[in-house]
Structure 1
Amino acid sequence: MYKLNIREDILAAFEQPSVVRLSSTGTLAYQRQREETEVITDTFLSCLPALEALEALRTKSPTHFYHAHRTGPMWKQLLALRSGAIEYLGDTANVGALHDIGKRYIPSSILEGASLTEREMKIMRAHNTFSVIDFMKLQIYFPHIREVLPLHHPHYSREEDHERRGEDRRDLGIELPSEVERRIAERREGEQRKPLHFLVLEAGKLLEIADTYDALSSQRSYKPAWPADTVRQHMLARFPEHNWAIDFLSNNYPNPLGR
């Protein structure tokens, strides 16, 4: 059973060795971060299945567990700067920490591996599809979760050939439950007819930005933390239309190596 310490987990995520930090204690930025932490905590405490999924991720990989808890609050604050986004998404805006929940189905040796083979990389990339297993269960609590959270990986676009991805997984001996496969196929057919709301697309892009910022700025088993200037240059080249979001993260979630 998951211990109800979600608030402590979020704060601890920013205190891990060589990771992005919260703003300085006593600043207005820090006060707002703590306020968002309380909102996010309340949302998770109202949904035991989401807490259990996160605890399973912690068991598999503390590194990815804490990355998830850093990405969630950063995403929520970016959404607050985009008019109408939080109002449209509702409580889905508070559960960005679930964006990588499919990693709980990936072997720990791969999640924590310092150097992955091509086959292992294929397994790792499958996590976005495995997330659907949990999103299907959580959609009753967070109606937009299946629309938004998978968008943090643009190379796993909705138009990507699902059959080819299925073949990749089967070649690796990885199978989704038949009900999940069926509902993915049904969802895909419906998505081809109905475009995503522009706020969903923007929310997905902001989640990608928050995810990338932490991935580059924070230490991982396979890489050190990147210097702030290197992170900024990389992200401006990748997200030229969202320099405001990059500036916000840089100013409010300091790089562990300093500026």
Structure 2
Amino acid sequence: MNIPLDALDLLDQGVAIFDAHHRLVYQNAPFVAMVAPGRTPFREGSGLALILDCLAAQGVGQGDDLRRRLSVLREALVAGDERQVELVGERGRHLFVVARATESGTLLLQVRDITLERRSTVKLESVMKVAVSTLADLAEYRDTDTSEHVLRVARLTHEIARELVGVGYPAEELSADFLSHLGTASMLHDIGKVGVPDSILLKKGKLEAEERAQIERHAEDGGSILKKASRLLPESLHFRLAAEIAFSHHERWDGKGYPSQLAGEQIPLSARITSVADVFDALSSERPYKPAWPLDKVEAYMRESAGTQFDPRVVAALGKVLEVRERASNIQWSALMSLNDPVVDHDHAVLLTLINQISLEANCHDPSAVEFVVDELVGYTLSHFGREERLLERNGYPHLDAHKKVHRRMAEEVIALRDKLRNNFTPALGEEISRYLRNWLTDHILVEDKKFARYLGG
């Protein structure tokens, strides 16, 4: 029976068939439109390599990385084998490519446009992230006055998890879903603190035994709250991971933690990673009840605590993250940028450091990493603008209203960048955001902020 293959032109996905030597024997009309928009159909006998090169050309700015991922479609497949690759093309178009083999060696290549599905997923995940972030703020606002701590912990948690394969953790424990959800889930690690009174939470002196016990109950309380949420949303990996993190992030590798005295790999990996990120950030940041430790002292403490308080491999991964961060120095802080106010200068230095992080190769190709940096940048920018405006008001700056308008415009621009990032991420966009923000901040410091420097201290 002759099958009318032109009927396959009515499909909403591209289909191509290759012989055992990877030569093209059939393609439907949607295949050409998706793989090489604007060109005529491929000639019969065209090699699979040519088709994959056309696909790679759509992944703007992804270059060798995308070619490497697409190369798995050329690997020898046995009957029943399947290879999958997702790529992001111009204007954020998502294509899902699947290769399947038959017993005769024939290769079936399918290409599907999943842009609408991905955008729906992004919107749902954005809503979930906003909900998680709001809950995290509720837990943290009395302790740190801002949400900056949870954003820093989220970013560091993600980066540590990304480095774990290189220090001996098997890749199968670090699935793509785990890596993409862990950072956001970690933001709720201290949600149980909502039940701890201020008199205990912010106490500067030594805690009494009963007060210590009440503080320690926050792990069980937080875990219980999030387990209920996870049962209501069983499909949500965010809340499932968040529950195990909240329960177990105060457990210790040597079994002397709380609430369950778990030891070693009995402690969920998500909690082991978050524990390291949380303690590192808590020690290196100022809190209402303590000053920040110098970075070298914090690093020494983390190394000394590996194998007792912390999983040694997670601490090793932290060390790799810090080494990578140290290399991020596209913009160097200089005396030329100083406004002779320690608070404003410190804020500007922090913002420069954050923008430098996006330019790192390890980050600009990682959508989760870029989004965490930009989220942190948005939060810190808004906090900085508030501090700067209050300072100018105290010093009687006559052009404060105009300066506030500049701040509003800049805030709108960076928030718009974050939204663009969530909808249409490509490595090229990560690099574009890095370049834009470098100019955005240096122009602001060297032009706009220099206008008020002479009023400070007046």
Give me the TM-score of the superposition, normalised by structure 1.
0.58
Q: Percent identity?
A: 21
Q: Deviations over 1:70-97 (max 9, x none)?
A: 2112101211223342535363442211
Distance in 2 of aligned mates of 1:252 and 1:246: 10
Distance change in 2, residues 1:77/1:86 (3 Å): farther
Distance change in 2, residues 1:77/1:47 (3 Å): closer
Aligned match for 1:232, one of 280, 289, 299: 299
Corresponding residue for residue 137 of structure 1: 228
Give how far 1:113 is off: 1.9
Corresponding residue for residue 203 of structure 2: 113
Give how far 1:216 is off: 0.9
CA contact (8 A) 1:79 1:86 kept: no
Corresponding residue for residue 153 of structure 1: 250
Give how far 1:68 is off: 2.2
CA contact (8 A) 1:151 1:204 kept: yes
In the alignment, structure 1 residue 244 sits paired with structure 2 residue 244: no
Give how far 1:204 is off: 2.0
Distance change in 2, residues 1:98/1:67 (3 Å): same
Distance in 2 of aligned mates of 1:41 and 1:56: 23
Distance in 1 of aligned mates of 2:249 and 2:122: 19
Q: Deviations over 1:195-238 (max 9, x none)?
A: 99x69733322111101110111111222111111111111011
Distance change in 2, residues 1:246/1:132 (3 Å): same
Aligned match for 1:208, one of 250, 259, 275: 275
Q: Deviations over 1:31-64 (max 9, x none)?
A: xxxxxxxx99974522665345234225543447
Equivalent AA in structure 2 for residue 147 of structure 1? E
- Structure having the higher Rg: 2
Distance change in 2, residues 1:158/1:107 (3 Å): same
Instruction: Write out the 4+ residue segments of structure 1 that deviate beyond 4 Å after TM superposition.
Output: 39-42
Give how far 1:148 is off: 3.5
CA contact (8 A) 1:149 1:207 kept: no
Task: Tell me which protein shows more strand as a share of its residues.
Answer: 2
- Structure 2: unaligned runs, 5 residues or longer: 1-120, 165-170, 252-256, 307-311, 329-345, 351-458
SS at match of 1:81: helix
Note the aligned Cα RMSD (angstroms).
3.6
Distance change in 2, residues 1:105/1:86 (3 Å): farther
Would you say how many aligned residue pairs link Structure 1 and Structure 2? 184
Distance change in 2, residues 1:78/1:122 (3 Å): same
SS at match of 1:144: helix
- Structure number with the bigger relative contact order (C-alpha 8 A, sep ≥ 6) is 1
Distance in 2 of aligned mates of 1:72 and 1:144: 13
Distance in 1 of aligned mates of 2:200 and 2:122: 29
Equivalent AA in structure 2 for residue 158 of structure 1? S
Give how far 1:158 is off: 3.3
Corresponding residue for residue 81 of structure 1: 163
Equivalent AA in structure 2 for residue 130 of structure 1? D
CA contact (8 A) 1:60 1:107 kept: no
Give me the TM-score of the superposition, normalised by structure 2.
0.35
Distance change in 2, residues 1:127/1:157 (3 Å): closer
